[in-house]
A = this chain, B = another copy of it.
Amino acid sequence: MEKDKSDKKDHILDVAEKVFSDLGYDAASTRTISGEAGVNMAMLNYYFGSKEGLFLAVFERKIEMFRSMLQNLGNDASMNAWDKLDAFIEAFINKVVVNSCFAKLINREMSLNRRDGLMDKIGDILLTNVLEVKKIIDDGKASGQFRQEADTEMAVATIFGTKNYITNTSLVASKMLGNDVNDAAYMENELKPRIKKYLKELLKAYLLK
């Protein structure tokens, strides 16, 4: 039945996404993935051809979710530059931190120097978000709200980099913060508001005149 087949493939992709994210591509064995998914190992090859095919399928299923993160804040004329940046930080931390598992996977594979077509595709999608923030800051400088001397690209790197550091180096970050950043309740109730508040204060101090 087509419905059940799709459900099963989706379930495999769910499990594969988690195992790949936790262990990395090489350490994530097909036996582990099939075992946790409760299916026979041969089903992975039956559905996806190979381990690499499974990996690509996980990626491509997620691409749409990344695309949906775009805000179109840049075209909103009713907000000034700082309000747009404030809104982006709010949405960015809200959306991306909950799926930090997959975000880690993306960042890890992106840090490898294998120039697949897939990596280029993902790079372009990530770049779209980056350029949107860059545009907001550049517009703020053009309108006179932000300091002319402010370094736009570096500020963008700080927004994405600070979040990545907390979610990607969870072992170190957890010890530094005295709490487990992988703990959902702590992340939701304490860390997320704290990151937002900090990033806004930081950029306000640096960007605003």
Copies in the complex: 2
Contacting chain B: which of A6-14, A44-52, A75-83, A155-163? A155-163
With both chains docked as a complex, state the minimum distance between the C-beta of A198 and any C-beta of chain B, in angstroms. 4
- Whether, in the assembled complex, A164 has its beta carbon less than 8 Å from a beta carbon of chain B, the answer is yes
A153 to B162, CA, bound (A): 11
Find chain B residues with CB under 8 A from A166 CB: 157, 161
Known contacts being A114-B22, A206-B202, is A123 close to B175, with CB within 8 Å? yes
Q: Is the CB–CB distance between B111 and A172 below 8 Å?
A: no
Known contacts being A156-B176, A158-B158, A162-B154, is A111 close to B113, with CB within 8 Å? no
Q: Is the CB–CB distance between A111 and B119 below 8 Å?
A: no
- Whether, in the assembled complex, A194 has its beta carbon less than 8 Å from a beta carbon of chain B, the answer is yes
- Whether, in the assembled complex, A39 has its beta carbon less than 8 Å from a beta carbon of chain B, the answer is no
Contacting residue for A169 out of B21, B107, B131, B195, CB 8 A:
B107
Q: Is the CB–CB distance between B165 and A113 below 8 Å?
A: no
- Indicate with 1 or 0, residue by residue over A184-201, a CB within 8 angstroms of chain B CB atoms: 000000000011011101
Q: Is the CB–CB distance between A112 and B22 below 8 Å?
A: yes
A202 to B108, CA, bound (A): 27
A128 to B154, CA, bound (A): 26
Find chain B residues with CB under 8 A from A169 CB: 107, 110-111, 126, 160
**Contacts of A19-41 to chain B: CB distance below 8 A:** 21-24, 26-27
Chain B: which residue is nearest A105 at the CB level?
A: B111
Chain B: which residue is nearest A198 at the CB level?
A: B154
Q: Is the CB–CB distance between A23 and B112 below 8 Å?
A: yes
Additional 10 contacts, C-beta under 8 A, given A110-B172, A205-B206, A206-B206 = A22-B114, A110-B168, A111-B169, A113-B182, A131-B176, A151-B194, A151-B201, A154-B195, A160-B169, A164-B165
10 tightest Cβ-Cβ pairs between the two chains A and B:
A161-B165, A26-B26, A161-B161, A154-B198, A205-B205, A123-B171, A22-B113, A161-B162, A111-B168, A157-B165
